[in-house]
Structure 1
Amino acid sequence: MKILVGLGNPGDKYARNRHNVGFMALDVIADHYRLGPWRARFQGLTCEGAIDTPKGRVKVLLLKPQTFYNDSGNAVRAAVDFYKSGAEDVTVFHDELDLTPGKFRFKRGGGHGGNNGLRSTIAHLGPDIQRGRIGIGHPGDKNKVTGHVLSDFAKAEEPWRDDLLDAIARAIPLLLDGDVDQFQTKVTHLAPAPDAPLQRNAKAREAD
């Protein structure tokens, strides 16, 4: 079983926040492949089904932890244990401050980079999980980070956000087949990052 995890906070209050873009990615994937329905399991909301890929049909579980962002690992661990999967079967989609808005990067392994949802997941599974990093840009001041991630996407950001989430969904068969380089390439080709002033701070941080 391949497990796709979206990070976010539960409840209507947070639903449109930048911090919930991982949840949004899973919603688009579920709609695109007609997976579901969503139901409560593993301390989260899940839906499952099979997705056709170039190499055949792959069973997938989509998981939105309902434990709040910083404790996401509890739900992921429960799902992995139930299906007897490994960390290599898990891909976590999450917001990324250190990527410019609309930029997407796929990564396997490594540290949590200060992301507490990843920190929790790595504490439960180790560092070998895969990550789909969705750039939301950095506000430029560390004191403004919490307000930035817990604010809704601006109206002007919604077009690139929706295009990127659609591109991720359309490219998912490549990820499920293990063709991660092609997955990254297809997402970037379908939804290149926009050229926006908000990107300046994140670009500077990427260069550090």
Structure 2
Amino acid sequence: MASDYWLIAGLGNPGAKYRNTRHNIGFMTVDLLAERWGVGFARHKGLAELGKGLMTMGERRQKVFLCKPLTYMNDSGQAVESIREYYHIGVDHIVVIHDDMDLDFGRIKLKSGGSAGGHNGIKSIDRCLHTPDYARVRMGVGHASRSGDAHDNTINWVLGEFNAAQRKQLPEFLADGADAAETIVFDGLTKAQDRFNGR
């Protein structure tokens, strides 16, 4: 029997070394959701920090799990699939929040399915869920410099910290990402896309 919970997973890497990096914007957004809804985290099978709570929007209420995988980015799917299976959560009740270099900093694009766009965390989730058809909140972190070795530049960029101008805008950006995830849960992906994709 399918659970009536939603699972919102923010992607990132565990540990202080990665806390403020672009790759961890999913963790940051889930932390904001946890703060909004008074959700505390505990370990799930050593694979994730997992919190359980209740979100409200007007008179509506929705039970949610908030997840931060501890598997490191490239194995994020192990944590998401373990939680999905253990709590009987349907793929149509999963939202994944992640960084996206194909979008300028501050841009949000919501989608379900399609390509992983070279994002190793999304590739892992696609593989473990055996489908790409779950909702995604893609949060733009901009492109790495195109000079030199493209692979090294990409790694250094996503594992680098936000610059001063971005740090100033970050609280509003994280709030938008959190709002987008909530809108998917309460109003569905299509309405959320109409609200956020054109910004």
State the TM-score, normalizing by the size of structure 1: 0.85
Letter in structure 1 aligned against 2:57: T
| Superimposed CA distance per residue, residues 173-197 of structure 1 (whole angstroms, 9 cap, x where no aligned partner) | 42112432433454568xx5xxxxx
Residue 153 of structure 1 is matched in structure 2 by 162
| Superimposed CA distance per residue, residues 53-96 of structure 1 (whole angstroms, 9 cap, x where no aligned partner) | 35721110000000000000000010000111122111110000
Partner Cα separation in structure 2 for residue 185 and residue 14 of structure 1: 33
Task: Check conservation: 1:55, 1:177, Cα contact below 8 A.
Answer: no
SS at match of 1:177: helix
Task: Check conservation: 2:135, 2:189, Cα contact below 8 A.
Answer: no
Identity percentage of aligned residues: 33
Residue 130 of structure 1 is matched in structure 2 by 135
Letter in structure 1 aligned against 2:42: R
Task: Check conservation: 2:94, 2:135, Cα contact below 8 A.
Answer: yes
Partner Cα separation in structure 1 for residue 180 and residue 92 of structure 2: 19
Compute the displacement of 1:31 (Å): 0.6
Q: Identify the match of residue 115 of structure 2 among 83, 106, 111.
A: 111
**Runs of 5+ in structure 2 lacking a partner?**
none
Task: Check conservation: 1:107, 1:130, Cα contact below 8 A.
Answer: yes
Partner Cα separation in structure 2 for residue 55 and residue 171 of structure 1: 19
Compute the displacement of 1:100 (Å): 0.7
**Runs of 5+ in structure 1 lacking a partner?**
193-208
- Residues 63-72 or 150-159, more deviating: 150-159
Partner Cα separation in structure 2 for residue 46 and residue 77 of structure 1: 13
Asked if 1:69 is matched to 2:69, the reply is: no
State the TM-score, normalizing by the size of structure 2: 0.88
Residue 14 of structure 2 is matched in structure 1 by 10
Equivalences, count: 189
Residue 25 of structure 1 is matched in structure 2 by 29
CA RMSD of the aligned region, Å? 1.8
Residue 202 of structure 1 is matched in structure 2 by none
Residue 41 of structure 2 is matched in structure 1 by 38
Compute the displacement of 1:166 (Å): 1.2
Compute the displacement of 1:51 (Å): 0.6
SS at match of 1:40: strand
Partner Cα separation in structure 2 for residue 169 and residue 153 of structure 1: 19
